[in-house]
Amino acid sequence: MPYITVGKENSGNIDLYYEDHGTGKPVVLIHGWPLSGASWEKQLPVLLKAGYRVITYDRRGLGKSSQPATGYNYDTLAEELNQILTKLDLNEVTLAGFSMGGGEVARYIGKQGTGRLARVAFLSSICPFLLKTPNNPAGVDGSVFEDIKKNIAKDRLGFLARFFVDFYNFDALGGKLISDQFVQLSWNIAAGASPIATIECVSAWLEDFREDLKKCDVPTLVIHGDADRTLPIAVTGKRTAELIPGSRYTVIEDAPHGCTWTHASKINEELLDFLAKPGKGAAK
């Protein structure tokens, strides 16, 4: 299995598992919490068939990557994305970040700029700023995130079982757009993640991406479901689109947070159409 070494913790390397398939213009898919690159199962074959080179990777602490005890902040995570792009020598890249992965996209742009990028996509993204503060009154009270961390610490596996019900709106869509077995697979992947990472990533959700997003000068797609219970669209997708002038904003009716599975055909249609448009620096 391919790994990229991004650092060390005491005597051991910190290695990120990645997959690199196909040929053509590169598309890097960045997964959400508490899943892995395997969550792009319904996008990967479609993008490959359309002629793209598709790279997925597992964030530190999650999936098949190393599970260090530290580094669960967006400066570190974005730098690790930068190392992947650099070590694979990727240019004219499309970055697509789902949920927590949207933060890596935003912070990468904030730190590294858009020199390597052709375009970016935010899917059910955490951006622009979740935490309620005096200058962000529409955000979520910090006590909500403290409760999440307490519940994970108390019974991580039980918390994850409850979490995925709302992640996929399983009470409404189960047996129709998603099976018991796929929810179980999601739980299995999340259960194998580092317990430390599972909690510490929650703190990273509170980071502010508004200044990062202002530096986004490449074609941008924002996709969000209007039935997202995990990251409600009014606080996230709508505001992200407003912060990036000229961005393409697509609202998927009745879609939950985990819309890359439940509404995969619509997501794939939107992605393929967006990828077919000229990217940064393309001739007019």
Amino acid at site 39: S
Give the Cα separation of 120 and 222 in Å (integer).
9
Q: What is the pLDDT along the chain (284 residues), one digit of tens a residue?
A: 799 999 999 999 999 999 999 999 999 999 999 999 999 999 999 999 999 999 999 999 999 999 999 999 999 999 999 999 999 999 999 999 999 999 999 999 999 999 999 999 999 999 999 999 999 999 999 999 999 999 999 999 999 999 999 999 999 999 999 999 999 999 999 999 999 999 999 999 999 999 999 999 999 999 999 999 999 999 999 999 999 999 999 999 999 999 999 999 999 999 999 999 888 865 43
* Residue given tokens 């407003």 in the structure block: 242
Distances (CA, A) of 246 to 98, 103, 201, 269: 20, 20, 31, 20
Length of the chain: 284
Which three-class secondary structure state does DSSP give residue 105?
helix
* Residue given tokens 């979490």 in the structure block: 163
pTM for the model stands at 0.97
| Bridge partners for 164 per DSSP | none
Residues 65-93 as b/e (b if ≥16 CB within 10 A, e otherwise) read bbbbeebbebebbbbbbbebbeebebeeb
Give the Cα separation of 166 and 186 in Å (integer).
13
Give the Cα separation of 239 and 81 in Å (integer).
24
Domain boundaries, the chain: 3-275
Enumerate the active-site residues.
99, 228, 257
3-275: which CATH architecture? 3-Layer(aba) Sandwich (3.40)
DSSP assignment of 165-201 equals: HHHTTHHHHBTTTB-HHHHHHHHHHHHTS-HHHHHHH
Of 160, 166, 170, which is closest to residue 190 (Cα–Cα)?
A: 160
